[in-house]
Structure 1
């Protein structure tokens, strides 16, 4: 692990070196999460850079990233660990053959539940990989039971596996939790975290992101894309475009050898930035006004 940033400004510079342009508020929240050893809970609209923040922190700090993608129905077994039953069965058969069928049950059972047969899922990987960044992505998609389980784990960074014993993190991971706010996450989880709401970048920062992540885009085209995306976000679309869509739009225009974004070019490339047919119809009806 590289030396921990000494200030929010240092963290801003470290993230900048990875191509992630953090504003002052986000850099301060990230620095405090590092200094206070607290999870960082990031909420915001899709495409505001929540997941990218964890990736950039991992790169800037030169530590592994462990990612847990949450979804409806996720449970502790999928997130924490499970036993490799096929290998355990093969092991039992090998023991039985070696012992000529005279297998001691207690000895056999002890040999089954060892690290050799333990399949670590993301949460257990994060506890045993020190140091690292643990990304718990889209926690709002998980149910209440999993959220309660995660709450207990984040309290002590310890887990007890009944057949194996206690596993405690030698150095707690830097935890970044993200939420698109499809449901409210419980206050008990938020209280254990530092909180930051990510807004879409302002015009100037979006232009800088475009120029940094897509170096071949001209300043003029970057401005046109950023201005167009900001106008689209004001239309109350089903899914307003995020920064990822801005970058896709820039790459699409470059692939078509377009150096200017006008209404005709936008009409041909809206699929790079809008993902719902209703949004496409709404924007196409207003293209001339949007690019007047």
Structure 2
């Protein structure tokens, strides 16, 4: 622990790997390297990749491992400053005006000072992430940035460059200590270079079979070993097909959990057909795998595992 009681930042890439794995986030060395550098350089970390590969989980794990608050800005189309940054508490301001009038206050400048005081400021995620006195610098997750528009991206430039926000009525609010910023995108559209330049970048890919198997062992400890091997092999083969949406790690975990709840010890065509809704989310993909192709995949997986011993 540091003098202020917080968990210290990792001092090396190996410590970063150990820190994340201690909280059950298995990380390959390249990702651990860019996480370590982002922490040491106090730069935002831009994580791009398919949905369900564990980008959001990086922020959650860091917050838990470093004992920091997690502040999440979930992006969506039409996100504006009032929802993301701040807004004024209008009912409280109106009450302040009525009380001032009742007390006979006629000084317009004083009244404006009173109604635009910080006590009437509602802090949304961006402003919360810049911190308040006595609060540890949080982990600030800007999730699925590609869902917003370019105007909101432009607004974020000041936040990511100087860790500050300008409020016309109050002035500039600057973070005493920069938050740990994690930005994720599923690449449904390209993010502008001006924002990317302010960040360290990493593409998060699907894990290989060995890593995904270890993830299942940690996240679903009740899943039988033979079943874990079969379902991981099956998911790995699914990702090689031309599906509308490949299953992510989150879906693999859901599938393993579902099969464990059904007390399954091994995969069979009927079980796969009955539980595909936990793994695939589009009917065209499900219909394709429920047919002969799904049976062929299972046969290939079992043959491969039998050959491997």
Q: Do structure 1's residue 78 and structure 2's residue 80 form an aligned pair? A: no
Q: Is the 8 A contact 1:130 1:169 kept in 2?
A: no
Deviations 1:92-140 (A, max 9, x none): 222323x1x5543222221111121100111100001541111111111
Which residue of 2 is the match for residue 194 of structure 1? Answer: 200
Which residue of 1 is the match for residue 234 of structure 2? Answer: 228
Unpaired runs of 5+ in structure 1?
none
Which residue of 2 is the match for residue 132 of structure 1? Answer: 138
Which residue of 2 is the match for residue 244 of structure 1? Answer: 250
Deviations 1:228-272 (A, max 9, x none): 111111111111000000010011111111111121111110000
Which residue of 2 is the match for residue 105 of structure 1? Answer: 108
Q: Normalization by structure 1: what TM-score?
A: 0.96
Q: Do structure 1's residue 155 and structure 2's residue 161 form an aligned pair? A: yes
Which residue of 1 is the match for residue 295 of structure 2? Answer: 288
- CA–CA distance in 2 between the matches of 1:48 and 1:42? 10
What SS does the aligned partner of 1:229 have?
A: helix
Q: Is the 8 A contact 1:19 1:213 kept in 2?
A: yes
Which residue of 2 is the match for residue 204 of structure 1? Answer: 210
- CA–CA distance in 2 between the matches of 1:122 and 1:102? 35
Q: CA RMSD in A?
A: 1.1
Deviations 1:263-287 (A, max 9, x none): 1111110000010111111111212
What SS does the aligned partner of 2:222 have?
A: coil
- CA–CA distance in 2 between the matches of 1:88 and 1:116? 10
Count of aligned pairs between the two proteins: 290
- CA–CA distance in 1 between the matches of 2:49 and 2:34? 14
- CA–CA distance in 2 between the matches of 1:217 and 1:183? 37
Mapping for residues 250-269 of structure 1, pairs under 5 Å: 250-269=256-275
Structure 1 residue 160 displacement after superposition: 1.6
